[in-house]
Amino acid sequence: MPSTQQRRRPKNLNLFTIRLPVNAIISIMHRMSGMVLFLILPAMLWALHQSVASEISYLALAGLLNHWLPKTVLVVLSWAFFHHFYAGLRHLAMDVHWMKSLPKARFSSRLVLCLDVLSVTLLAAMIW
């Protein structure tokens, strides 16, 4: 049985009091987007299969995607791809000791976020 003293020990597990630095945000988002991409892989393969199997399945897929709901889903999921892509390139750059100092790493993290937003917006503009 723990004493009262022990039970009253302060905890700092309130996640709202912990502010992640931008590099940490990029890193955890890289991991999460990787999981998302793994989970949507069967849908991607299915779409690829439909697009090349026959002209009928190609047109059926095109018809299915030509609707605001699948387009929105695609744009949201494209964020996972673009983030994983750009953050991955950033990791590769750091593996060869490029942009490794803290100020440069912060700069490249912000650059990744900007490229994410830009790419997702561009994709949305292109398919609408």
Partner 1 sequence: MMIELLTKKYPGMRLWLAQRLSAVVMAVYLLVFALLLIVKQPAGYEAWMNLMSPWWWRLFTLLFFVSLVMHAWLGIRDVFKDYIFNPGLRAIFQLLVDVLLMIYLGWTIVILWSM
- Stretch 19-48: interaction string toward partner 1, x if CB under 8 A: ------------x--xx-xx--xx--x--x
Distances (CA, A) of 70 to 5, 56, 67, 116: 56, 19, 6, 20
Decide if residue 53 touches partner 1 (CB under 8 A). Answer: yes
Q: Phi first, then psi: what are they for 13, rounded to 5°?
A: -110, 15
Decide if residue 118 touches partner 1 (CB under 8 A). Answer: no
Q: How far is the CB of 116 from partner 1 (least distance, A)?
A: 16
Decide if residue 92 touches partner 1 (CB under 8 A). Answer: yes
Kindly determine how many residues on this chain lie close enough to bind partner 1 according to the rule CB under 8 A.
21
- Alpha-carbon span 74 to 72, nearest angstrom: 5
- Helices and strands in the chain: count of H runs, count of E runs: 5, 0
Decide if residue 98 touches partner 1 (CB under 8 A). Answer: no
Q: Which of 24, 52, 122, 127 binds partner 1 (CB under 8 A)?
A: 52
Decide if residue 88 touches partner 1 (CB under 8 A). Answer: yes
Question: Cβ atoms within 10 A of the Cβ of 83, count?
Answer: 25
Q: What H or E segment, with its residue span, contains residue 106?
A: helix 102-127
Residues 6+ apart with CB under 8 A from 88: 30
Decide if residue 76 touches partner 1 (CB under 8 A). Answer: no
Q: Which residues bind partner 1 (CB under 8 A)?
A: 31, 34-35, 37-38, 41-42, 45, 48-49, 51-53, 55, 58-59, 85, 88-89, 92, 95
